[in-house]
Chains A and B, each alone.
Chain A
Amino acid sequence: MSEVGVRLARSPLGLTLDAVKEAIADAGLTLDQIDGVATYPGKMQTFLGFSPLGADDVIEALGLKTRWHIGAAEMTAQLGAIAEAANAVKAGLARHVLCFRTVYEAAAMSRPDEFPPLERREGVTGNSQWVSPFGAFSAANWTAQFAMRHMKRYGLTREQLAQVALNDHANAALNPRALVKTPLTMDTYMSARMISSPFCLWDCDRFTDASTVIIVSAGDALGEVKTTPIRIAASAGSVERYSWDQAEWASAYPTGRDLWKNTDYRPKDVDTVQLYDGFAFQPITWLEGLGFCEVGEGGRFLEGGKRIARDGELPMNTGGGQLGWGRLHGFGFAFEAVVQLRGEGEARQIPGDPKVAVATSGGGPMATALLLAKD
């Protein structure tokens, strides 16, 4: 992973190079051995801060010779790139796939000449036409409505929701790479300004500049890898309605259920969860969808924060999540799962010898869950 910051001067390609160098050194590989590249969502010319680089940029810039690559937004959320890479190496299409996610939203906003903002077309189309005319511009508004329904239907409280941000900040304070350096108190949380009820400022991630790289290798290529390999035991990414406002439930629910159809592991086998938290409510949908608690019980599961703490029964977002580490946009959760399973978490390492982790990305209509295991 590159430096994680806000309004960094280093270019998106420079950050990506930093992350690639670290990852191949860690794996004990050389760039000659990389024969695949996977990324989400590919280069977005209309929204360069969101995704400044495609797979082809990285292949060309790093002088890679690849046999397989993919860079796509139409896949099962951010970690879908890693799930696709796993399928590719399993099928023999590549041996070592470099998977990356580079984000540059903070820097791009501060340098509009270099990264021009989305061109204002004549009229909104597609899915945004159903929300933006009503001032619902942000995923904060769309996700907040699911959170509000949980409050009214199941009794979710702001104090319970706060545990996501409190836990993230506590963990980020022990993670030297994280944006956040200090813990958050309940008083500070409760007195923050509201963004979109029930979300306050601390419930929403913020624009970040960073690059995260994960290398996915074929099972029969592990002899070439020098580090402790972590196995991708299963993945899932299900959609019931590809829409933020027509779905009864976030896609975390069908995706969470499906993950367990693709493996013999069960929720009780999981030592740590790294759950997408662009907004604080999303981990609740994942906890419920993956079956760590009943539907509607996510708030009570978080109550007091002990269960999800590093020494709790289900340590969650141990690197600080997106509210603490930064908006790494999904890839940070897979990265941290690998760190914890290898026992390399240093000050934030969870106790025992964790062997199984879940990493997820996405909320709303798109979702990916990965099950990772140390053999």
Chain B
Amino acid sequence: MTWKRSRVRLDKDNRAFWTGGAEGKLNIAKCGDCGGFIHPPREICRFCLSENVAPHAVSGKGVIDTYTINYQAWAKDMDVPFVIARVKLDDAPGVYLTTNIVNCPVDAVDIDDPVQVVFDEQDGLWFPLFEKVG
């Protein structure tokens, strides 16, 4: 889409997520004590209340949990249709990412399709999108 993605305001909690793509990394906050993944990222583990939480690079592999084909141009210059999906990450249990499925026709997307992260950089933010694999 030619539409410019909403610019996220960076803070200490979300910076690793939105800038990790510069190093090819999909960073998800992880608890150093219980191993739980915390998304959206926060400084406290929502499972064990530990404050030993840090960004952890996951594989970037996942499956499409569910999706929708968006036909409505919500903003100026938004090219439609495009796929909005919720991706379930393979190696971060319980974490879903809302994202776009790119590099395939909109009607080629289905639930349970395996996908892999690809980053779309705009003005220093690295948006994690996903494409189908295999």
Q: Footprint of B on A, CB under 8 Å?
A: 121-125, 127-138, 140-142, 144-149, 152-153, 193-199, 243, 245-246
Contacts and interface: CB of A to CB of B under 8 A. Distances in A.
A135 B65 contact: no
A133 B1 CA distance: 12
Interface residues of B, number: 40
Contact of B127 (A125, A133, A141, A149): A133
Contact of A152 (B14, B71, B110): B110
Contact of B75 (A124, A137, A194, A246): A137
B98 A124 contact: no
B71 A135 contact: no
B84 A196 contact: yes
B78 A195 contact: no
A122 B6 CA distance: 10
A128 B14 CA distance: 13
Nearest to A125: B9
Contacts of B66: 145-146, 148-149, 152
A200 to B, nearest CB: 9
A121 B7 CA distance: 10
B99 interface: yes
A123 B9 contact: yes
Given A124-B8, A130-B40, A135 B68 contact: no
A138 B71 contact: no
A100 to B, nearest CB: 30
A148 B81 CA distance: 16
A135 B74 contact: yes
B86 interface: yes
Interface in B22-70: 39-40, 65-70
B111 A148 contact: yes
Contacts of A123: 7-10
B124 to A, nearest CB: 12
A135 B8 contact: no
Given A145-B68, A196-B68, A196-B84, A136 B111 contact: no
Contacts of B65: 149
Contacts of B69: 194, 196-197
A197 B105 CA distance: 15
Given A124-B7, A125-B9, A134-B5, A140 B72 contact: yes
A122 B3 CA distance: 17
Given A131-B98, A149-B65, A246-B96, A137 B74 contact: yes
B100 interface: yes
Interface in B69-106: 69-72, 74-75, 78, 81-82, 84-86, 94-100
A194 B81 CA distance: 10
A281 to B, nearest CB: 11
Contacts of A195: 70-72
A121 B8 CA distance: 10
B96 A132 contact: no
B70 A141 contact: yes
B127 A135 contact: no
A106 B125 CA distance: 35
B5 A196 contact: no
Nearest to B99: A134
A142 B74 CA distance: 14
B72 A196 contact: yes
A194 B78 CA distance: 16
B8 A133 contact: yes
A166 B82 CA distance: 28
A122 B1 CA distance: 22
B6 A124 contact: yes
Nearest to A126: B40
A131 B86 CA distance: 10
Contacts of B99: 134
A145 B67 contact: yes
Given A127-B40, A134-B127, A140-B72, A153 B111 contact: yes
